[in-house]
Every structure is written in structure tokens, then in C-alpha cells.
């Protein structure tokens, strides 16, 4: 552990570290050879997950996917390994094709083995905040890594919404693990790393990791647990960048319902939604996904020629 990581680790209460460690599980690779069912396969950890509550295990979709003739599939059951070396079976509850999240559940007979849980943090996060993760990098662990949040509005091509940048050591086996704050609450779910080494290997490690924000992850997970499809808000605006004085903004390229009925027109320059400045298309999309629900009324401020106008839009389901 580096000196910087040591300083960060010392600022985190021991109880939070232990609770996070016990809530973390390893996602086991299916190494059983169907030709020899009597012969046990090797114990190989391919990813990380965490116990949310009541036997529910949350992890990354890509940490459990299997190859099939029709492409990548999410298995109905997986095996997880607790930090005290109990191997448990978990059954699929739900998964998100929109985001890299999947939820499983441990059968009731074995839930008492899970002695700790980690809930999602509430409220906003800030760049510079201290965080840590527990996981199985390269299949080994559980290990702990400590760092700070970087840009909390980062975008990659791997998912449809923003990601949180975390400056801490992580590898491909950390995928699906929780990114914790100082009190051991989950602020994100580990999604990807940017490999800084040039060597082409199956194992990717980096000091720059990216996580799915807890605010969005919690909505996906709760919808899966409740057995309800998660509907996202639709504003009905297609955007294009335009220059407004010296500042680049987003303008309405095309408008449909519900914005059309509210009075928004083509060529309007988008300024704000609910007093939050609209910076670009990805940021507006993230706002709608994370902070609104279909049927909600929101105010949208636009500039039409030289006049600033505000319209009230009742969001549709997209």
C-alpha cells in the first residue's frame, strides 16, 4: 500500500472497513466439466459483488455473463464466495440491459451466513471525496484499495449514462464490487478500468476506475427486486450543439411529445431544467434518468431569439 493510500485508510473507521469486507463476495467462475460431473472444478473468482440486504447480491452484468450460441447470456444461477470461504448458490432476480447491473438472491436457508450488508448512500457525492473498494482483482482477495473520487460526470461508450471516476488501484476482477464512502455506504458499483499498461493481456489493471453512480444503481436494483420494469423519463427533444455568444450550448434540432405540447420549438436554445444548467446532451439525459420519473412536471428554460422563456413539461415514459 502506498503512503497516500495508507493516509486514506487511516481516516476510515475500522468498523466500516470490516463491515464492507464482510458484505463483499467473490463471483465464482463455472469451471465444472460437464463430462466429469463427479470431479469438482477449480475455485476461480472472476468478479466481485456485495450483499445489499435480505440475501440480495448485486454485481456487474459482465461479471456473470456466459457465452452461448446466441451470444452473451446472464445465467439463472451463480455461485458466490464469502470472505469466510462459504460457497453459496444465488438465483437470478433481475438484470438491466440498459446498465451493467444484475441482482441475485441467496436462498433463505443460507441467508444467515451473510453477516453483513452494505446499503446505498443517499445524497450527492463530490469530487475529491475519499473512497475505497473491496474486491478480487485478478481473482485474488479480498483486497482493499483506497483513493479519491475524480470527475463524477464521466462518460464511456460501455453504458448509457454517466460514470464516476475513482483514482484507486483496480483490476478486471474488481468489476461488480462496491465503491464505498468513509462510512461504508455504497456510492457506486465498479464497472470498468482504463488500462494504463501497453501489454496485451486478459487481465486489465489501472489506477483509474469507473463506477456506476449509486443514485442510478439503486433505482435499477429496486426495480429488479420489486419485479417491475423501470421506466425512464422522456422529454421528446433531439439536440444539436450551437454557439451562444462565446459559449457552446444545446439547441432543439427536433421536438416531439411531450415537449411539443408544452410549447418548446425547433431551434430553441436549451438553458436549464429545474434550475440545473443544461451543458450537453449526455448531462441532460443523465438528469432525466437519475432525478425524474414519468408523469413528473419539470420546468425547462430556453432562449428563443433574444427572449428567455420557461415551459412546464409533463414527462412521458421512454
Distances (CA, A) of 168 to 15, 114, 128, 142, 210: 21, 27, 12, 15, 10
> Is residue 13 classed as helix, strand or coil in its secondary structure?
coil
Residues 246 and 266: their CA atoms lie apart, in Å, by 21
CATH number of the domain that 256 lies in?
Answer: 2.30.42.10
Distance from C-alpha of 310 to C-alpha of 240, rounded to nearest angstrom: 20
214 and 138 share one domain: yes
Residue 3, domain member (yes or no) = no
- Statement to judge: residues 266 and 213 lie in one domain: no
129-156 tens-digit pLDDT:
999 999 999 888 899 999 999 999 888 8
Q: What would the mean pLDDT of 196-204 be, rounded to a whole number?
A: 57
Q: Region of 271 please: left (phi>0), alpha (psi -120 to 50) or beta.
A: alpha
Q: Say yes or no: 238 and 303 in one domain.
A: yes
Residue 253 φ then ψ, to 5°: -85, -40
Please state the domain count of the chain.
3
- The answer to the question of residue 9 being in a domain is no
Instruction: Let me know whether 210 and 138 are in one domain.
Output: yes
- What is the pLDDT at residue 245? 85
Residue at which a domain ends, from 87, 113, 139: 113
Indicate whether 296 belongs to any domain: yes
Tell whether 55 is covered by a domain.
yes
Domain end residue (candidates: 210, 226, 242): 226
pLDDT at 204: 74
Judge whether 118 lies within some domain.
Answer: no
Q: Are residues 92 and 69 in the same domain?
A: yes
Euclidean distance between CA atoms 69 and 266, whole angstroms: 46
Query: Of 82, 113, 144, at which residue does a domain stop?
Result: 113
Contacts of 36 (CB under 8 A, 6+ apart): none
Q: How confident is the model at residue 311 (pLDDT cuts 50, 70, 90)?
A: very high
Q: At 222, which helix (H) or strand (E)?
A: helix 214-226
Do 159 and 221 belong to one domain?
yes
- 6 domain-assigned: no
Please determine, for residue 73, whether its predicted confidence score (pLDDT) is greater than 80. yes
**Residue 87: alpha-carbon gap to chain centroid:** 25
Give domain status of residue 259, yes or no.
yes
pLDDT at residue 196 is higher than 90: no
CB 173 within 8 A of CB 141: yes
Is the pLDDT confidence value at 234 over 70? yes
Shared-domain flag, residues 178 and 135: yes
- On whether both 268 and 309 belong to a single domain, the answer is yes
Q: CATH no. for residue 92? A: 2.40.10.10
Tell me which residue range forms the domain holding 194.
130-226
Whether 289 maps to a domain, the answer reads yes
- Size of the chain in residues: 318
Amino acid at each position: 500500500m502506498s503512503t497516500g493510500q495508507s493516509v486514506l485508510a487511516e481516516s476510515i473507521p475500522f468498523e466500516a472497513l470490516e463491515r464492507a469486507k464482510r458484505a463483499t463476495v467473490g463471483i465464482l467462475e463455472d469451471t465444472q466439466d460437464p463430462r466429469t460431473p463427479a470431479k469438482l472444478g477449480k475455485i476461480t473468482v472472476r468478479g466481485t459483488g456485495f450483499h445489499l440486504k435480505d440475501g440480495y447480491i448485486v454485481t456487474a452484468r459482465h461479471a456473470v455473463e456466459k457465452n452461448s450460441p446466441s451470444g452473451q447470456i446472464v445465467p439463472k444461477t451463480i455461485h458466490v464466495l464469502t470472505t469466510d470461504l462459504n460457497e453459496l448458490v444465488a438465483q437470478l432476480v433481475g438484470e438491466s440491459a440498459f446498465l451493467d447491473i444484475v441482482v441475485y438472491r441467496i436462498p433463505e436457508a443460507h441467508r444467515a451466513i451473510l453477516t453483513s450488508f452494505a446499503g446505498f448512500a443517499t445524497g450527492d457525492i463530490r469530487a475529491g471525496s475519499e473512497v475505497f473498494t473491496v474486491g478480487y482483482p485478478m481473482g485474488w482477495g479480498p483486497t482493499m484499495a483506497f483513493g479519491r473520487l475524480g470527475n463524477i460526470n464521466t462518460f464511456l461508450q460501455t453504458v448509457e449514462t454517466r460514470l464516476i471516476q475513482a483514482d484507486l488501484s483496480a483490476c478486471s476482477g474488481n468489476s461488480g464490487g462496491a465503491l464505498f464512502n468513509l462510512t461504508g455506504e455504497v456510492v457506486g458499483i465498479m464497472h470498468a478500468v482504463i488500462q494504463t499498461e501497453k501489454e496485451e493481456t486478459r487481465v486489465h489493471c489501472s489506477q483509474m476506475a469507473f463506477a456506476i453512480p449509486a443514485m442510478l444503481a439503486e433505482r435499477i436494483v429496486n426495480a429488479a427486486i420489486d419485479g417491475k420494469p423501470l421506466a425512464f423519463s422522456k422529454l421528446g427533444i433531439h439536440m444539436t450543439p450551437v454557439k451562444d455568444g462565446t459559449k457552446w450550448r444545446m439547441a432543439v434540432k427536433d421536438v416531439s411529445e411531450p415537449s411539443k405540447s408544452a410549447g418548446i420549438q425547433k431551434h430553441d436554445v436549451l438553458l436549464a431544467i429545474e434550475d440545473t444548467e443544461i451543458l450537453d446532451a449526455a448531462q441532460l439525459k443523465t438528469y432525466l434518468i437519475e432525478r425524474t420519473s414519468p408523469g413528473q412536471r419539470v420546468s425547462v428554460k430556453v432562449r428563443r431569439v433574444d427572449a428567455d422563456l420557461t415551459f412546464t413539461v409533463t414527462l412521458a415514459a421512454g
